[in-house]
């Protein structure tokens, strides 16, 4: 009773200095360590085979449990863009990055563009929508690899000759062609994916991007010269080790890699649910064109 009275008098955060120091120290150690080089699952795991073949069956509902959609590099907690209106709603959670080595090798001019992207991430020019603001805020398709670590479950549907991935955000999808590889007919948001198997690892070569996607809300980006090589390796019934090597000579001085696990969603009621967000963006995108009637 006395303790409860003291907490009530001094407030819910009183007496927390020592625990806060311990938590900050632990978080700092986590962030400095970067993404793990490997995961606990055995490399000897043999996944169930796709019917009639000798390759793994990746079908199912999967989700990344990272905070990379906010920032793919190590980052601390930060307020959202409107803390005076929303308080802790929309705040950026701290997170260990998914970039191997935690370094993105930008060219100097591209690093300056990344800085401008972050500063203007919610600034919209309705006359030039593609070159203003975070594509996610505009409900644009996330692209590769960002779609793989947005904070939503996504579905993989596997066939013998192709793999479909369906993503809730912006009701988007991509095909990975396992046979009859060809070049893309046009550039697009998700690029063009040709896949092949190396043992139990699915390797996907992704090209033909339109240069309009970002990697996160921190403004990390690439140009239309982006080339991504993905690797999907099942490591247990419930995990896929995901890795993507990113190359873009217009933006980076060398290739670099992101790595993280995907987790199978196994709840009985798990379902694919669209997030059709276009209707949420109209005032954000075009509000500055609307004149106040004065009424």
For the chain, 295 residues long, the average pLDDT of each consecutive 10-residue run is: 40 43 45 51 83 97 97 96 91 96 98 96 86 91 98 96 97 96 95 98 98 97 98 98 98 98 94 89 85 50
Q: CA 149 to CA 53: how far, in whole Å?
A: 29
Count of domains observed in the chain: 2
42 and 23: one domain?
no
pLDDT value of position 147: 98
49 and 19: one domain?
no
pLDDT value of position 53: 96
10 and 108: one domain?
no
64 and 11: one domain?
no
pLDDT value of position 21: 41
196 and 235: one domain?
yes
- Determine, yes or no, domain membership for 218: yes
pLDDT value of position 49: 96
Query: What DSSP element (H or E) covers 110?
Result: helix 108-119
- Determine, yes or no, domain membership for 294: no
- Determine, yes or no, domain membership for 269: yes
pLDDT value of position 37: 52
91's tokens: 């705040």
Question: Is the sign of the CA dihedral 183, 60, 65, 278 positive or negative?
Answer: positive
161 and 235: one domain?
yes
Contacts of 258 (CB under 8 A, 6+ apart): 35, 68, 72, 98, 99, 100, 145, 243, 244, 246
Return the number of other C-beta atoms located less than 10 Å from residue 288's C-beta.
Answer: 12
223 and 269: one domain?
yes
- Determine, yes or no, domain membership for 46: yes
- Determine, yes or no, domain membership for 217: yes
**Secondary structure of residue 75 in the 3-state scheme:** strand
pLDDT value of position 25: 46
- Determine, yes or no, domain membership for 182: yes
247's tokens: 């190359």
Domain ranges, residue 173: 34-289
Question: Is the sign of the CA dihedral 63, 69, 75, 79 positive or negative?
Answer: negative
pLDDT value of position 289: 84
């Amino acid at each position: 009773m006395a303790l409860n009275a003291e907490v009530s008098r001094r407030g819910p955060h009183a007496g927390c200095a020592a625990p806060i120091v311990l938590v900050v120290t632990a978080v700092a150690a986590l962030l400095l360590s970067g993404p793990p080089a490997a995961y606990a699952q055995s490399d000897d795991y043999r996944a169930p085979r796709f019917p009639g073949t000798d390759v793994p069956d990746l079908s199912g509902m999967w989700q990344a449990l990272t905070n990379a959609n906010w920032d793919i590099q190590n980052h601390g907690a930060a307020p959202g863009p409107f803390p005076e209106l929303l308080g802790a709603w929309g705040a950026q959670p701290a997170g260990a990055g998914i970039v191997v080595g935690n370094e993105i090798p930008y060219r100097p001019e591209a690093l300056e563009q990344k800085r401008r992207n972050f500063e203007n991430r919610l600034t919209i020019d309705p006359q030039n929508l593609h070159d203003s603001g975070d594509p996610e805020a505009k409900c644009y398709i996330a692209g590769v690899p960002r779609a793989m670590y947005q904070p939503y479950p996504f579905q993989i549907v596997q066939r013998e000759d192709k793999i479909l991935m369906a993503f809730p955000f912006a009701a988007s999808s991509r095909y990975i062609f396992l046979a009859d590889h060809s070049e893309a007919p046009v550039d697009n948001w998700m690029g063009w994916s040709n896949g092949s198997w190396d043992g139990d690892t699915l390797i996907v070569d992704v090209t033909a991007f339109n240069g309009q996607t970002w990697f996160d809300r921190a403004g990390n980006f690439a140009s239309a010269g982006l080339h991504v090589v993905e690797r999907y390796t099942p490591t247990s019934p419930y995990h896929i080790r995901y890795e993507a090597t990113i190359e873009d000579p217009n933006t980076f001085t060398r290739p670099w890699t992101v790595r993280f696990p995907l987790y199978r969603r196994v709840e009985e009621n798990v379902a694919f649910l669209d997030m059709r967000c276009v209707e949420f963006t109209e005032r954000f995108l075009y509000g500055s064109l609307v004149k106040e009637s004065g009424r």
